[in-house]
Amino acid sequence: MDYDRYKSFAPYRGQDVIDALRRLNGEMSHLSGFVTLVSGDIEEATNKAYLDHIVRSFSSVRSYDDFLNDITCGIFVPTIIRRTITEFTVSGLEKLDPAKGYVFISNHRDIILDCALLDYALSTHHLPVCEMAFGDNLIVNQFIEDLFRLNGGIVIRRELPIREKYLESVRISEYFHKLITEEHHSVWVAQKSGRSKDGLDITQPAIVKMLFLSSRSSGERFPDLVKEMNIVPVAISYEYDPNDINKGREEVIRKTHDGDYAKKKYEDLISMTKGMKCQKGRVHLSIGDVLADEYADADEAAAAIDRQIHSMYRLWDTNYFAYDCIEGTGRFADKAAGLDKDAFLARFAHLAPEVRDFVLNSYANPVRSALKASE
């Protein structure tokens, strides 16, 4: 593949990796702040030793694969898991062939961790890590861009004129196709253009269409294109979502302002921070089956992705209790028996009723989706 053709949005490669590491070394205050965020409130001497270890590790990094395996999956993610996750479990990795590239289409809860935890699971099981697509709205400075693109980040430019946006989408589609079929590398894509705020994980057919945008004139059948891209649904579930309340407030404001919500410049950065440092309880990652049926169009393929995500999504006591609470039933009382229900509800006691109901529904909706998938 001619990577120079995709250099404006693709992960760093070659000299760009070395240049980015040099910039990180020159931004020690930013790097130290990020390390403190990941490691938590530890003694200054311990934190300095941790930072020094990371900086020393930069010397062996020559590619984003190195950075992902050695730094992110070797240092950062294990620390986040140890500090903020009660138990992290994975299922379905045995379905993956290390010699193949996949398009992992995942539900989306956390800006950073959804893909980072997938990469960690792949890395620790000696499977190739994947690139990840993310919106350029997350890039607030050069430091953040360097971290993302050193982690295999693919920059999706959101604010472009219509024609430029189309041409950029074609190039990204072309890049994905070559990445999977020629380079046998994998990529993570969220099923929506942003995080799910309401817990309803519905794949936008536009995401599937984008994968095949560059192949429209090839004459190849859509079902064959689907199989060629090795699309794998992925479901990630958090017992507690650190951003549940801000998501609820955002969506309630959006609804009361006719769908309009203007994010502040650093709002996504704050969400990233909360996602990394706050408690999440148990977390499970489910890897689905490669889409292999004959799908007539993107709508059918998207529906197949949804069926897998909804059926393999690991439901927690928080989901079952929220469902019973909203529905006014005791249907799943046994599945939420171990939950401190008063403590769970106390988290939302200060909220306006409409925000509280939205947040509780965001926990209840995966149960509704699972029930519908089992019909």
Tokens of 20: 């980015």
The strand ranges marked E within the chain are 85-91, 103-106, 130-135, 153-156, 186-190, 231-238, 281-287
What pLDDT is stored for residue 50 in this prediction? 83
> Given a cut of 80, is residue 156 above it in pLDDT?
yes
List the chain domain ranges. Answer: 3-13+83-313, 315-375
CA distance 189 to 199: 17
Tokens of 217: 């004139």
Over residues 44-91, the pLDDT tens digits come to 666 788 888 899 999 999 999 999 999 999 999 999 999 999 999 999
Q: What CATH topology corresponds to 3-13+83-313?
A: Glycerol-3-phosphate (1)-acyltransferase (3.40.1130)
What pLDDT is stored for residue 215 in this prediction? 87
Tokens of 229: 């891209």
Mean per-residue pLDDT, 203-222: 89
Mean per-residue pLDDT, 160-178: 94
Mean per-residue pLDDT, 219-229: 91
Whether residue 307 contacts residue 370, with contact meaning beta carbons closer than 8 Å, is answered with: no
What pLDDT is stored for residue 158 in this prediction? 85
Mean per-residue pLDDT, 165-178: 94
> Given a cut of 90, is residue 266 above it in pLDDT?
no
What pLDDT is stored for residue 292 in this prediction? 94
> Given a cut of 70, is residue 368 above it in pLDDT?
yes
Over residues 272-326, the pLDDT tens digits come to 999 999 999 999 999 999 999 999 999 999 999 999 999 999 999 999 999 999 9
> Given a cut of 80, is residue 260 above it in pLDDT?
no
> Given a cut of 70, is residue 41 above it in pLDDT?
no
> Mean pLDDT across the chain, nearest whole number?
93
State pTM to two decimals.
0.94
Angle between helices 77-84 and 28-39 (to 10 degrees): 40
What pLDDT is stored for residue 191 in this prediction? 95
Mean per-residue pLDDT, 210-238: 92
What pLDDT is stored for residue 270 in this prediction? 87
**265 vs 248: which has the higher pLDDT:** 248
What pLDDT is stored for residue 106 in this prediction? 98
Tokens of 341: 């229900």
